[in-house]
Amino acid sequence: MTTLTQLPDDYVQNPHHVHDMLRAEGPVQEVHMPRGLKVWLVTRYDEAKIALTAPQVSKNIAEGGHLMAVHSPDTDQRREIEPTLAVHMLNMDPPGHTRLRKLVTKAFTARRIELMRPRVQEIAAELIAKLNDGDEVDLLEAFAFPLPITVICELLGIPIDNRDDFREWSNQLLSFGTPDQVQAAASAMAGFLFQHVTAIAQAEPDDTFFSALVHADDSGDRLNTEELISMAFLLLVAGHETTVNLIGNAVLSLLRNPDQLQILKDRPELIPASTEEFLRLEGPVNVATFRYTREDLELGGVTVPAGEILMVSLVAANRDPAKYADADKLDVTRSAQGHVAFGHGIHFCLGAPLARLEFDVALTQLLDRFPNLTLAAEPETLVWRDSTLIRGLHTLPVRLA
């Protein structure tokens, strides 16, 4: 067992060397997260995949939610999220998960996503048109954030005027706020979504995604209002906090590796395939969402007892040298297939095709219009957001050219 039981204070600023240390010692360790929560953290690739699919492991918040209080010394960690927002598929095991996922999959078809490409291109082009050579901007604020939030708001039929509210609420909810702020944000979001869902349910069905979801019917089975609110909440948060940071992290990696940037400028047709390498190297989800051991689980010779919180670092698994050679190196031509940046098993990211589409469009247009963009800050001064879930920067200052 490891001697490191408390993750260092600067863990979110530089998680990779901590992961390297833990991974070298064993596949899974009992550690205290930065705010004190005691968890079992998985850092090796093979064991990560086992932990994400093992039948001894549950995601059912109703069953395992109380473990947060049991394993946390800090009352901040014990807060309960607004119940209306929590009945979504990422908090469920089969059969509840299977039912919700089936209903949403009916509305979220690959065809519907691909049909969005021209609109995503248009949104990206509009954002880029507002930027000029010589400008120094925060690329997250000016480009990486508005693109996915506009797309997801349009998918859900939410007026774009509410975009800033959503950004604020989801920021608070991803644990950047105090317990009171989190509660206030959750209530505000639940209230807004209730009105939105009710309005769509009363309107005539049309061919938009959210209307299809509200009216989705699986042999008479439908989503009720609470389930629709939770689903919309999950899609909103999962749909933008991640893609923003995939774009930001990828641009940072490229600016720090000019040889790799040059390859993509010379051969932009490689961009779609290179998406997988950016996801692997610095994916926007560090530690996947909470899981609970329902029974003892053996992981690479270590037994995680029943009744524990299990966390899987996707970022650590994706840099496991046993899976990828030169795992810390960006290589836009490598085949990064098999990475777990979108998770693994039944909770595999539902939005992966949309995220890949948005990333492809974003990077293609950005490099085409500003091939000589540079970092406008020393890399060491960049600050990562204080979250173990989201791996993303606060700001990404760049000079456009």
**Closest separation in Å from C-beta 97 to ligand HEM:** 6
Q: Does 253 bind ligand HEM (CB under 6 A)?
A: no
Candidates 72, 171, 172, 242; binder of ligand HEM (CB under 6 A) is: 242
- Give residues with Cβ within 8 angstroms of 183, minimum separation 6: 79, 82
Q: Is 138 helix (H, G, I), strand (E, B) or coil?
A: strand
Structure tokens belonging to residue 83: 């119940």
**Closest separation in Å from C-beta 353 to ligand HEM:** 9
Candidates 139, 200, 235, 332; binder of ligand HEM (CB under 6 A) is: 235
Q: Does 389 bind ligand HEM (CB under 6 A)?
A: no
Candidates 288, 309, 362, 400; binder of ligand HEM (CB under 6 A) is: 288
**Closest separation in Å from C-beta 289 to ligand HEM:** 4
Q: Does 152 bind ligand HEM (CB under 6 A)?
A: yes
Q: Is 217 helix (H, G, I), strand (E, B) or coil?
A: coil
Candidates 208, 289, 364, 395; binder of ligand HEM (CB under 6 A) is: 289
Nearer to ligand HEM, 183 or 364 (CB): 364
Q: Looking at 33-41, 167-175, 230-238, 371-379, which segment touches ligand HEM (CB under 6 A)? A: 230-238
CA dihedral 82, 73, 47, 327 (to 10 degrees): 90
φ, ψ of residue 391 in degrees (nearest 5): -105, 100
Nearer to ligand HEM, 127 or 147 (CB): 147
Q: Does 246 bind ligand HEM (CB under 6 A)?
A: yes
Q: Does 183 bind ligand HEM (CB under 6 A)?
A: no
**Contact, 347 vs 69, CB < 8 A?**
no
Q: Is 40 helix (H, G, I), strand (E, B) or coil?
A: strand
Pair type for strands 397-399 and 136-138: antiparallel
Q: Looking at 35-43, 65-73, 238-246, 322-330, which segment touches ligand HEM (CB under 6 A)? A: 238-246
**Closest separation in Å from C-beta 365 to ligand HEM:** 17
Output the furthest CA–CA distance in the chain (Å, rounded).
61
- Name the nearest CA neighbour of 74 among 32, 31, 13, 18: 32
CA-CA distance, 248 to 282, in Å (whole number)?
Answer: 10
**Closest separation in Å from C-beta 41 to ligand HEM:** 14
- Name the nearest CA neighbour of 261 among 158, 167, 333: 333
Number of residues binding to ligand HEM, judged by CB under 6 A: 26
CA-CA distance, 189 to 177, in Å (whole number)?
Answer: 15
Q: Does 150 bind ligand HEM (CB under 6 A)?
A: no
Candidates 37, 185, 234, 330; binder of ligand HEM (CB under 6 A) is: 234
**Closest separation in Å from C-beta 295 to ligand HEM:** 19
**Contact, 42 vs 320, CB < 8 A?**
no
Structure tokens belonging to residue 302: 């270590």
Nearer to ligand HEM, 39 or 400 (CB): 39
Q: Does 15 bind ligand HEM (CB under 6 A)?
A: no
Q: Looking at 15-23, 128-136, 236-244, 377-385, which segment touches ligand HEM (CB under 6 A)? A: 236-244
Nearer to ligand HEM, 157 or 351 (CB): 351
| Sequence-ordered strand ranges (E) for 295-381 | 297-299, 302-304, 309-312, 374-375
Residues 317-356 that bind ligand HEM (CB under 6 A): 341-343, 347, 349-351, 354-355
Structure tokens belonging to residue 183: 């509660």
Distances (CA, A) of 372 to 131, 146, 375, 401: 14, 22, 10, 5
Distances (CA, A) of 358 to 92, 143, 174, 351, 390: 28, 12, 22, 11, 18
Candidates 243, 260, 274, 388; binder of ligand HEM (CB under 6 A) is: 243
**Closest separation in Å from C-beta 255 to ligand HEM:** 19
Q: Is 283 helix (H, G, I), strand (E, B) or coil?
A: coil
Structure tokens belonging to residue 351: 């939005």
DSSP string, 236-260: HHHHHHHHHHHHHHHHHHHHH-HHH
Query: What is the sign of the dihedral through the CA atoms of 338, 254, 364 and 397?
Result: positive
**Closest separation in Å from C-beta 56 to ligand HEM:** 16
Give the per-residue contact string, 66-95, with ligand HEM (x = CB under 6 A; - = no). Answer: -----------------------xx-----
Q: Which residues make up the interface to ligand HEM (CB under 6 A)?
A: 89-90, 101, 152, 234-235, 238-239, 242-243, 246, 283-285, 288-289, 314, 341-343, 347, 349-351, 354-355
